[in-house]
Amino acid sequence: MLKIITLILAAMWLLVLMMAGLLFQQGQASQAAGQGPKNKIAAMEPDSAVWGAYFPKQYATLVQTAYNDTRTEFGGSEPFSHLEDDPRLLTLFAGYGFSIEYNDDRGHWNAVLDVQSIDRLTPTTPGTCYSCKSSNNPQLWDELGMATFDAMLFTELGESIDHPIGCANCHDADTLELIVTNPALETALAAQGLDWRTFSQQEMRTVVCANCHVEYYFAGTGKYLTFPWVNGRDIEDIAAYYQANGFVDWTHPESGTKMIKMQHPDFEMFSNNSTHYNAGVACADCHMPYVKTDGMRFSTHDVKSPLLNAQAACSGCHKNVDRVVAQVSIIQNHVHDTMLAAEDALVDAINAIEAAALAGGDAALIDEARTLHREAQLRWDFVAAENSMGFHNPEYALKTLAKATDLARQAQIKAVEALP
């Protein structure tokens, strides 16, 4: 009996040693794969290289965004000039900075460099323009408060900005969970009765993108970053919000219309009952697909157009990736053609309003034409400024452009009626 007990104890001890060895090997492999201690990273650490010491594969792919310079049919990562591609924009944005320079955006790693070198900067450019450009932001918002951050001049705040978009913009340093870091997003969600802390991991793989990829404006003299979502995120809700609060980005010098420039409402476009959104697909599923390197599966942080990585981005759901890419091209070309038709209508409206004003036409009718011009252009720009050429939500994009064209033609007709 004693011999049996001894054998049992020996076997149990051997099992314990084997398990300990296995756990040690797993721990070593985990750290080698970049899954090391999580609590070594300071809260809101702005330097992504510090995170990269524990997550080298994710960091290496993030750095790769510095070298993405490939253009797709309607976007990509090449900083081409939209003004050269489409001269109509010179008329549509006349009197505004986007008529001086309007380049396509590059990858996340170039965000600070690019915003600091654009020709649209002026001595009075507010610090708010850094809101979506740097991983320094969460720490600065925490230390300064958002109101102080936004009220600073761009040049003044720039002295504290030395890191591009990175880990701290989306992750909690302690738990590594996806989080909302932009106070403007938290405020906008709360206004809709939403708390991001209750969202699922899959939902957060879209919501964190809304830290930046949204429509916004600078409110008041303090240039406070604000998302116009009080009435909802649909373009009609946003248009009604701006109409009610009287916000103006600039006055068009040719038509005399008080205008609004849309930013990049990718989240609003995608989340408005699009096919992919309703199917539970997240932004990261396509723009940051899972990849496998050295036996480790992780979400690539080489954020770019899925068309530049279609096999990884699409094959998780679609068997025939080539067919999907072809469908994307068909949809985008259809949206692009419709967008150009809206632009033609807008140019005609601007010219007609200018002619009526110069001729001393009926002031009331000219004002009506200007209101129609404003409403038409902000809807066109809602699609034009969005980064998918309509693919994030084709039906919604086409519907919005159709209304933009209709309103622009109404503005043109009203201006003609105003002629003496």
Q: How far apart are CA 97 and CA 126, in angstroms?
A: 14
Token pair for residue 386? 């969005």
What phi and psi, each to the nearest 5 degrees, are found at residue 41? -100, 125
Amino acid at the residue 338: T
Of the candidates 237, 235, 251, 166, the one whose C-alpha atom is nearest the C-alpha of residue 386 is 235
CB contact at 8 A, 221 and 126: no
Number of other residues whose CB lies within 10 A of the CB of residue 349 = 27
CB contact at 8 A, 62 and 166: yes
Of the candidates 370, 343, 265, the one whose C-alpha atom is nearest the C-alpha of residue 89 is 343
Degrees to nearest 5, angle at CA 152 with 146 and 156? 130
- The pLDDT tens digits for 31-52 are 334 444 445 899 999 999 999 9
Residue 40 CB-half CA count within 13 A: 11
Q: Tell me the C-alpha to C-alpha distance, in Å, between residue 148 and each of 71, 121, 164.
A: 38, 20, 21
Amino acid at the residue 208: V
Q: What is the pLDDT of residue 39?
A: 54
Q: What is the pLDDT of residue 73?
A: 87
Chain centroid, CA 377 distance in Å:
20
Q: Tell me the C-alpha to C-alpha distance, in Å, between residue 216 and each of 9, 35, 233, 242, 309.
A: 68, 36, 11, 11, 29
Q: How far apart are CA 210 and CA 225, in angstroms?
A: 13
Of the candidates 384, 372, 358, the one whose C-alpha atom is nearest the C-alpha of residue 89 is 384
* This prediction's pTM: 0.90
Number of other residues whose CB lies within 10 A of the CB of residue 170 = 23
Residue 137 CB-half CA count within 13 A: 30
Q: How far apart are CA 209 and CA 400, in angstroms?
A: 23
Give the pairing type, strands 224-226 and 258-259: unpaired
Token pair for residue 375? 């409403």
Domain boundaries, the chain: 69-105+178-300+313-418
CB contact at 8 A, 141 and 183: yes
DSSP codes joined into one string, 95-114: TSGGGT--BPP--GGGHHHH
Q: How far apart are CA 264 and CA 288, in angstroms?
A: 19
Beta bridge partners of 219: 224
Q: What is the pLDDT of residue 70?
A: 85
Q: How far apart are CA 169 and CA 172, in angstroms?
A: 9
Of the candidates 351, 398, 393, the one whose C-alpha atom is nearest the C-alpha of residue 379 is 398
What phi and psi, each to the nearest 5 degrees, are found at residue 156? -70, -50
Token pair for residue 330? 């068909």
CB contact at 8 A, 400 and 235: yes
Give the pairing type, strands 290-293 and 258-259: unpaired
69-105+178-300+313-418 belongs to which CATH class?
Answer: mainly alpha
Chain centroid, CA 275 distance in Å:
19
Beta bridge partners of 258: 251
Render each residue's pLDDT in the chain as its tens digit; 420 residues: 444 444 443 444 434 333 333 333 333 334 334 444 445 899 999 999 999 999 999 999 999 999 988 888 888 888 889 999 999 999 999 999 999 999 998 999 999 999 999 999 999 999 999 999 999 999 999 999 999 999 999 999 999 999 999 999 999 999 999 999 999 999 999 999 999 999 999 999 999 999 999 999 999 999 999 999 999 999 999 999 999 999 999 999 999 999 999 999 999 999 999 999 999 999 999 999 999 999 999 999 999 999 999 999 999 999 999 999 999 999 999 999 999 999 999 999 999 999 999 999 999 999 999 999 999 999 999 999 999 999 999 999 999 999 999 999 999 999 999 999
Q: What is the pLDDT of residue 51?
A: 97
Helix 394-418 to helix 321-358 angle (10° resolution) is 10
